[in-house]
Amino acid sequence: MTVFQTSVTLPSIPAHLSIPQFFLDYQDGAELVGASKERQDRFKANKQPWLIEDDTGRKIWVDEVRTLKTRTVGLANALHIKYNIGFDDVVLVFSRNHVDYPVAIWATHRLGGIISGANPDFASNELEYQLQSSGASLIIVHPEALQTALSAAKAVGLPKERVIVFDLPRRKKDHSLSTVNELVELGSSRKVAFVEPQVDAKTKLAFLSYSSGTTGKPKAVAIPHFSVITNVIQFAVHHKVFLDYASWDDQRFREGDVAIAVLPFYHIYGLVLVLHFLLFSRISLVVVPRFNFVQMLDSIQKYKIGHLMLVPPQIVLLCKHPAVKNYDLKSVVRSVMVGAAPLSNEVNQQIISLLPNAHIGQGYGMTETCTASSCWSIETKRGPAGCAGQLMPGIRVRVLKPDGTYAGYDEPGELFVYSPSNALAYYKNEQATKETFIDGWVRTGDEGKIDRNNNLWVLDRIKEIMKVRGFQVAPAELEGCILNHPDVSDTCVVGVPDDYSGEVPMAFVVLSADIAKRVESEPGAANAIKESIKKHVADNKIHYKRLAGGVEFVDIIPKNPSGKLLRRVLREKAKEIRKVKAKL
């Protein structure tokens, strides 16, 4: 059996610390990853703000009076006194990014509680499902999502009084519920009534994070404290954080830098790598509540943001949006990491052209592996196009071929990942756990391969792979090609049934704004553009990868919060289109 792994050693990670104890109290983090005495001292001094509120510019430090540490203890005390939150109680955070989001997380953890983050754009029935499946006994909600939270709470029998609201700058309170600020004041004015429990970080649950999946309802992934701490250390060792391995200008992550927190904290990418890893690295986070591309460009310029952790649709906007030409990103952005879905070769080349001086590359991970398993090497400024990078310390990978044997170098198959950061199970779902968590390994459902340079290549979701005349066709490859067409703003490719080929590719396309207006005003323009897109693919891809299923224009490509394309939605839409055409 071939097992792929890196030769870099993972240091011994303390298993007796909870997440807030490690990130807020522990003073030996820099020493743990091998920092020099000078860098350790800078780690402990921590003179830059941890969080910056995007809307107001307000800066929040970790240990000044009435900021992160104090607010965390104050909120924990109030949650214990007023709501009796304690060991293994679940608190659901239903919110956009907010500077008090980490305070809510760490306060709950101080009490031994568990956090479950939910998408604030959920409909009431979707939130009801997460409330019921997680067993949450308290909701902390963003004001914009309050009515949905109240409706869902009522539906599951959770009293209105057990809904707490985040405070917003410049917005007066317009409800009778308790706010986080009020609870912090209450908890800070009272004697500390809780005793922070000692935990076995390897088994004590910290998060119930819901995996997006591709079929069925989302499943709660049971993630212990140790998993988050471990993945942060894996990422730090991989990137030589706090090490003087190169000149200051060439080091990828440096304390005192500024990053943008535009990915949602309720998703594993934003939760572990953006929030916890970047704060561990002493990089200030500009906290953005709602993604707006032009506003993101404004923030990059205003706060001199050097680090972008993004998903492919946001990279496409950087490459395609007309507003980009109004900003000097080259002199500010120094690092771009892409995760959550594959980035095509074409888009990869475009982002490199846009930011020729930046470190640019991809990583790979899952909620079930909490979080990253690979990332592009620190030894190179640019990751190979389409590559998910090299395995991080402590990670092992097996590649299972369709015939049931294990693959060697450059042989594709399903990826199985072992990591000390792996989650424990699907919460209260024994059958799904047996299918995915196998003897310490996570069955990813992704097709990939390892090359002879120990690079990981993720080819696609196995269930999304099309078979055209017996040949496998990866939708992501075609999407990258289509995005290189000048008239295309976004796209998603799905397979549709075909009597002759078994399955053929169909492309759903969002046109650029100018071209969309032209299609509306000029009869015949739509067909001409569709043929142009099909010809573009035919000119660049082998015959069986042509868009034999056609091209359909849509206003938007549906995606989940992590940026993954919701192919199943468009697959159903494709079936309906084919039925209608068959009747004509």
Number of C-beta neighbours around residue 487 at 10 A: 17
pLDDT confidence of residue 353: 93
Of 189, 216, 234, which one is at a domain's C-terminal end? 189
Give the DSSP per-residue string, 293-350: HHHHHHHHHHHT--EEEE-HHHHHHHHH-GGGGGS--TTT--EEEE-SS---HHHHHH
Both 431 and 559 in one domain: the answer is: no
Long-range own/partner contacts, residues 144-153 (CB < 8 A, 24 or more apart): 144/96, 144/120, 145/94, 145/95, 145/96, 145/120, 145/121, 146/175, 146/177, 148/94, 148/120, 148/122, 148/123, 148/124, 149/94, 151/124, 152/124, 152/125, 152/127, 152/128
For CA atoms 379, 383, 384, 386, give the dihedral sign: positive
Residue type, 289: P
Of 417, 439, 461, which one is at a domain's C-terminal end? 461
pLDDT digits (tens, 9 = 90+) for 152-190: 999 999 999 999 999 998 888 889 999 999 999 999 999
Structure tokens, 281: 């690295």
pLDDT band at 86 (very low <50, low <70, confident <90, very high): very high
Both 236 and 339 in one domain: the answer is: yes
Cβ atoms of 372 and 270 within 8 Å: the answer is no
Partners of 540 in the β-ladder = none
272 within a domain of the structure (yes/no): yes
510 within a domain of the structure (yes/no): yes
Number of C-beta neighbours around residue 543 at 10 A: 10
Distance between first and last Cα of the chain:
54
Cβ atoms of 98 and 289 within 8 Å: the answer is yes
Task: Tell me the mean pLDDT in the region 231-246.
Answer: 97
Task: Tell me the mean pLDDT in the region 543-566.
Answer: 88
pLDDT confidence of residue 65: 67
Both 183 and 250 in one domain: the answer is: no
Both 367 and 255 in one domain: the answer is: yes
For residue 571, give its domain range: 471-583
Which of the 8 DSSP states describes residue 204? S
Whether the predicted pLDDT of 230 surpasses 70: yes
pLDDT confidence of residue 213: 44
Give CA–CA dist 293/513, Å, rounded: 15
Give CA–CA dist 319/328, Å, rounded: 14
Comparing C-alpha atoms, which of 344, 375, 402, 409 is closest to residue 540? 344
Both 449 and 480 in one domain: the answer is: no
66 within a domain of the structure (yes/no): no
Whether the predicted pLDDT of 464 surpasses 80: no
Both 476 and 575 in one domain: the answer is: yes
pLDDT digits (tens, 9 = 90+) for 358-400: 999 999 999 999 999 999 999 999 998 889 999 999 999 999 9
pLDDT confidence of residue 197: 96
Backbone φ, ψ for residue 432 (5° rounding): -65, -35
Comparing C-alpha atoms, which of 476, 500, 489 is closest to residue 555? 489
pLDDT confidence of residue 215: 44
Both 409 and 446 in one domain: the answer is: yes
Q: What rounded mean pLDDT belongs to the chain? A: 92
Structural domains of the chain, count: 3
Both 551 and 575 in one domain: the answer is: yes
Q: How far is CA 70 from CA 86, 282, 580, in A?
A: 19, 19, 62
Residues with Cβ within 8 Å of 341's Cβ and at least 6 positions away in sequence, in order, are 311, 312, 476, 562, 563, 564, 565
Task: Tell me the mean pLDDT in the region 508-532.
Answer: 93
Give CA–CA dist 252/246, Å, rounded: 9
pLDDT confidence of residue 87: 97
Cβ atoms of 239 and 448 within 8 Å: the answer is no
pLDDT band at 559 (very low <50, low <70, confident <90, very high): confident
Whether the predicted pLDDT of 241 surpasses 90: yes
428 within a domain of the structure (yes/no): yes
Cβ atoms of 503 and 495 within 8 Å: the answer is yes
Cβ atoms of 142 and 171 within 8 Å: the answer is no
Cβ atoms of 375 and 440 within 8 Å: the answer is no
326 within a domain of the structure (yes/no): yes
Whether the predicted pLDDT of 144 surpasses 50: yes
Structure tokens, 361: 């590359």
Phi-psi region of 382 (alpha: psi -120 to 50; beta: other; left: phi over 0): beta
With helix as H, strand as E and coil as C, how does 150-174 read? HHHHHHCCCCHHHEEECCCCCCCCC
Both 340 and 269 in one domain: the answer is: yes
61 within a domain of the structure (yes/no): no
198 within a domain of the structure (yes/no): no
Of 157, 189, 221, which one is at a domain's C-terminal end? 189
CATH code of 157's domain: 3.40.50.980
Among 227-236, 340-349, 362-371, the range with the most confident prediction by mean pLDDT is 227-236
Q: How far is CA 412 from CA 8, 81, 104, 405, 446, in A?
A: 24, 55, 43, 11, 10
Burial class (CB in 10 A: 0-12, 13-18, 19+), 353: exposed
292 within a domain of the structure (yes/no): yes
Name which of 61-70, 78-87, 549-558 the model is least confident about.
61-70
Both 227 and 340 in one domain: the answer is: yes
Task: Tell me the mean pLDDT in the region 222-226.
Answer: 98
Task: Tell me the mean pLDDT in the region 22-26.
Answer: 95
Whether the predicted pLDDT of 480 surpasses 80: yes
Query: Count of alpha carbons within 13 Å of 453, Cβ hemisphere only?
Result: 12
Both 213 and 314 in one domain: the answer is: yes
Whether the predicted pLDDT of 440 surpasses 70: yes
Whether the predicted pLDDT of 489 surpasses 50: yes
pLDDT confidence of residue 474: 80
State what percent of residues in the chain have pLDDT above 70: 97
CATH code of 511's domain: 3.30.300.30
CATH code of 371's domain: 3.40.50.12780
Both 346 and 448 in one domain: the answer is: yes
pLDDT confidence of residue 477: 84
Query: Count of alpha carbons within 13 Å of 473, Cβ hemisphere only?
Result: 29
Number of C-beta neighbours around residue 132 at 10 A: 14
Q: Tokens 């092992």 — which residue?
A: 396
For residue 179, is the peptide bond before it cis, meaning its omega torsion is within 30 degrees of 0?
Answer: no
pLDDT band at 584 (very low <50, low <70, confident <90, very high): low
